[in-house]
Structure 1
Amino acid sequence: MTTKTTLEKPLRRRQQDVYDFVRLFIEEKGYSPTIREIAEGIMLASASTVHTHVNSLIRKGYLTQSSSGVRTLALTKKGKQPKVVTQAGILKWIKEKGNDHQHDSEIAALLIDLQESIQTGRIC
C-alpha cells in the first residue's frame, strides 16, 4: 500500500541515479532499459538492488510499469523534468547545423557568430 507520506518523500541518491538513467535512456533511445542495463549504467553489480530501486520509484509515482515484461517502464508526469539547454548542447547543435548550411553563407556566419559569443562569454 502506498501512503501519502511515501509519495511525498524525496528520492534517495541511488533512486535518483536510477531515475535519471531511465529518463535519459528513454529520451535517447525511445524505449525503456532493462534492469540489467540500468545496473550496468549506474555501475551496480546487483540486478536485485536495481529492481528494489525501480519498485520504490513506481511506488513514489516517478515510474510506471505496464506489465511484468522487459522494457515496460515509463516515466510519469511527476518525474518528468523540463529539458535543460546547456552551452555544450548549443555548441553541438551549432556544429551540426553549420554542416547543414555550408552553402548558405549568411546562416553559416550567424552560427559562427553565435558560437563565438557563447565561447567568449558575451552570451551566457
Structure 2
Amino acid sequence: MTTRATLEKALSRRQQDVYDFIRFFIEDNGYAPTIREIADGIMLASSSTVHSHVNSLIRKGYLTNSSGGVRTLVLTKKGKRPKVVTQAGIMKWIQDQGIEETHDAAVYKLLTDLQEGIRTGRIC
C-alpha cells in the first residue's frame, strides 16, 4: 500500500538517475528500456538494485508498469518535465538548417545572431 508520505517523498540521487535514464531512453527510442539496459546505462552491476529503484519510482508515482512484462514502463504526469531548449540543441538545429545556403536574408541574420550570441555567452 502506498502512503501519502511515500508519494510526497523526494527521489534519492540514484532513483533520479534511474528515472532520468528511463525518460531519456523513452524519448530517444520510443519504447522503455529493460532492467539490464538501465543497469548498463547507469553503470550498476546488479539488476536487482535497478529493479528496486524502479519499484520505488512506481510506488512514488513517477512510473507505471502496464503489464509487468519487458519494456512496459511508462512515465506518469508526475515525473514528466517540460521540454527544455538547450544551447547544444539550438546549435544542432541551426547547423541542420544549413544557414550558409539560406537565401532569406532575414532568416540568415536571425540564425547567425542567435548562433553568435550562444558562442559569446550573451544568450544563456
Output the TM-score relative to the length of structure 1: 0.91
Q: Using the alignment, how far apart are the partners of 2:19 and 2:70 within structure 1?
A: 16
8 Å contact kept, 1:98–1:111: no
Aligned to 1:114: 114
**Residue 7, structure 1, aligned to residue 7, structure 2:** yes
Aligned to 1:56: 56
8 Å contact kept, 1:98–1:108: no
Q: Using the alignment, how far apart are the partners of 1:16 and 1:43 within structure 2?
A: 14
**Residue 72, structure 1, aligned to residue 64, structure 2:** no
Question: How far apart are residue 121 of structure 1 and its match?
Answer: 2.5
Runs of 5+ consecutive residues of structure 2 not aligned to the other structure: none
Q: How many residues align?
A: 123
Q: Using the alignment, how far apart are the partners of 1:78 and 1:13 within structure 2?
A: 17
Runs of 5+ consecutive residues of structure 1 not aligned to the other structure: none
Aligned to 2:103: 104
What letter matches 1:117 in structure 2?
A: G
- CA offsets, 1:36-68, max 9 Å, x none? 000000000011110010000000000000112
Question: How far apart are residue 98 of structure 1 and its match?
Answer: 2.2
Aligned to 2:89: 89
RMSD of equivalent CA atoms: 1.5
Question: How far apart are residue 110 of structure 1 and its match?
Answer: 3.0
Matches within 5 A, 1:26-45: 26-45=26-45
Output the TM-score relative to the length of structure 2: 0.91
Runs of 4+ displaced beyond 6 Å:
none
Question: How far apart are residue 25 of structure 1 and its match?
Answer: 0.5
- CA offsets, 1:11-54, max 9 Å, x none? 01111000000000011111100000000000000111100100
- CA offsets, 1:62-81, max 9 Å, x none? 00001121100000000001
Question: How far apart are residue 109 of structure 1 and its match?
Answer: 3.9
Question: How far apart are residue 103 of structure 1 and its match?
Answer: 4.5
